[in-house]
Structure formats: structure tokens, C-alpha cells
């Protein structure tokens, strides 16, 4: 059953990995400024997040990787914030800092930890020489080059569940203009196809090709153009953190297939009501 606190973070405070600390007193986030201090709980910074162990209600590792969410008691009730890597921060470095927080919390109160993406195995792209050939004619010359009959011709066909073809020149220009830090051009594929044996093949913009199992598809992270429009671009995440960015999701057969598979997984994971 999927927990509410495992939902992807919609609002994320950006911090550096070095700003994530745990001490005997609790968890400190963004407590150190330019003036050195021995104890982060003695910080003069008003925007620091200081959570003492007895006030901690939950720490949850949430998407998009490597983010996490903290919920704690305050004098006025409860507070909750989600945190992710600062601009320019290495996601891997940040994830290691988050894991250290999880380890410190687990030693004290394992029931307060929701491990989220930490329990998902890494599944990376497998490089391949090229995309599968959808249809290929193979000719055998058994009786000499000039005596090949129709029986000597074999057709090899790769069945495809969904395909996103190479963009037109105009669409490619739009993709380039559409790129941003949230939509990096390197993660916008040139071509995608999903074969009947449930492998996802991608040709990237540097012409390299790779594949990944469709079964590793885990979650969709919507990317908004602005606060006033419905998101139509999305990262599809395979395994813990391997991402594929698809633009114009509503017009893309591959995205529609991915969404259907994710909906199927959710329906299987949902609890059934007793008769």
C-alpha cells in the first residue's frame, strides 16, 4: 500500500549536502553560516531547520530522487518540509548525505523512517549499438549470387508496443528552445521505441543508443512550464533514479503506454476491500 507521505514532493527547499547534519540533539538543516560554530543547534540563523530527536515525527525519502521530507512537532503543532539538492549540487553527493541522516535516525527510531527510493535498486541504461530494426530483409545466396529464389529470403520483424519517432526539424528546434535546467536537452530523447519483449530503446541526441527494461518503470514526475498550465512534460523514472524526459506527453504513444503501466501497478498495489 502506498503511503500519503511517499507522494512526490511538489515544493522543495534547496540546500547543500554539507547543510544536512545529525548530532546527539537531532537533525540540523542549513544551520551553519559564515561564522564557525561548534554546535549547529546554537546557530543564529533564523531560517535554519532544527529538529530535536524527541520532536521528530517522520523522515521520508521521496521523489524526485534524491529528495527527502521531514515532519516534526512544534510549539504550535506540526511542521513539514521537503528538501532537495541546491542548484549545482551533485545529486549523488546529496543522496549520500540523506542516507547518513536516515542511518542516524534508524539507529534511534527505525519506525520513524520511510526509506522510499533507498529500497529501490539502481537500474541504469544498457548501451546498445543501435535501435532494433523494425523490419529487415535477409537474403541467403545458397545457389550462387544470381540464382536466389523467393524461398531464400527471410523477413525479420521486431514487434513494437509503442514508438516515438525522430522529430521533424521544426520539432527539434522547439525542443531546443524548450530546454531549461528543469528540461535538460541531454535528457530529451531523439527517438524512443518499446518492443514487444518489453525493453525500452532510446536514441539520444548525441546519437548514442541504450535500453532499459520496461518493468523497471517506477514513477512519473510532471514538469510544469508555469503555475498556470497543466503539466504536459514529464520525467519517467526507471529504478531508483534513471530518468527519461518526454515532452508533449499527451501526444506521445510511448508516454501513454508508460502511464497505462504505472496505473496498472497502482491498481495492483492498492488494497482490496473485503467482500
Q: How far apart are CA 245 and CA 204, in angstroms?
A: 11
Choosing among 3.30.420, 1.10.287, 3.30.70, 2.30.29, the CATH entry for 160-269 is: 2.30.29
Domain ranges of the chain: 4-118, 160-269
Q: What string of pLDDT tens digits covers the 275 residues of the chain?
A: 444 566 788 789 999 999 999 999 999 999 998 878 999 999 999 999 999 999 999 999 999 999 999 999 998 899 999 999 999 999 999 999 999 999 999 999 999 999 999 999 999 999 999 999 876 555 555 555 555 455 455 555 778 999 998 654 434 444 444 544 544 556 678 899 999 999 999 999 888 999 999 999 999 998 876 555 566 888 999 999 999 989 888 889 999 999 999 999 888 766 544 44
pLDDT of residue 136: 56
pLDDT of residue 168: 45
Secondary structure of 52-118 in the HEC alphabet?
A: EHHHEEEEEECCCCCCEEEEEEECCEEEEEEEEECCCCCHHHHHHHHHHHHHHHHHHCHHHEECHHH
Q: pTM of the full predicted structure? A: 0.80
Amino acid at each position: 500500500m502506498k503511503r500519503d507521505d511517499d507522494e512526490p514532493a511538489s515544493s522543495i527547499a534547496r540546500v547543500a549536502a554539507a547543510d544536512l547534519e545529525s548530532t546527539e540533539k537531532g537533525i540540523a538543516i542549513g544551520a551553519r553560516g559564515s561564522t564557525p560554530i561548534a554546535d549547529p543547534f546554537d546557530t543564529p540563523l533564523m531560517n535554519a531547520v532544527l529538529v530535536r530527536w524527541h520532536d521528530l515525527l517522520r523522515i521520508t525519502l521521496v521523489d524526485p530522487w534524491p529528495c527527502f521530507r521531514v515532519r516534526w512537532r512544534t510549539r504550535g503543532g506540526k511542521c513539514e518540509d521537503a528538501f532537495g539538492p541546491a542548484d549545482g549540487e551533485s545529486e549523488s553527493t546529496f543522496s549520500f548525505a540523506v542516507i547518513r541522516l536516515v542511518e542516524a535516525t534508524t539507529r534511534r527510531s527505525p519506525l520513524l523512517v520511510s526509506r522510499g527510493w533507498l529500497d529501490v535498486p539502481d537500474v541504469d541504461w544498457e548501451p546498445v549499438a543501435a535501435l532494433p530494426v523494425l523490419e529487415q530483409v535477409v537474403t541467403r545466396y545458397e545457389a550462387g549470387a544470381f540464382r536466389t529464389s523467393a524461398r531464400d529470403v527471410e523477413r525479420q520483424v521486431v514487434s513494437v508496443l509503442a514508438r516515438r519517432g525522430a522529430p521533424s526539424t521544426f520539432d527539434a528546434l522547439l525542443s531546443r528552445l524548450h530546454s531549461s535546467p528543469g528540461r535538460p536537452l541531454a535528457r530529451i530523447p531523439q527517438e524512443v521505441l518499446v518492443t514487444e519483449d518489453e525493453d525500452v530503446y532510446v536514441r539520444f541526441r548525441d546519437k548514442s543508443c541504450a535500453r532499459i527494461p520496461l518493468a523497471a518503470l517506477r514513477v512519473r514526475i510532471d514538469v510544469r512550464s508555469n503555475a498556470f498550465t497543466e503539466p504536459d512534460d514529464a520525467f519517467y523514472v526507471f529504478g531508483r533514479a534513471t530518468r527519461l524526459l518526454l515532452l508533449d506527453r499527451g501526444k506521445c504513444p510511448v508516454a501513454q503506454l508508460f502511464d497505462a503501466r504505472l496505473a496498472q501497478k497502482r491498481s495492483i498495489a492498492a488494497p482490496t476491500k473485503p467482500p
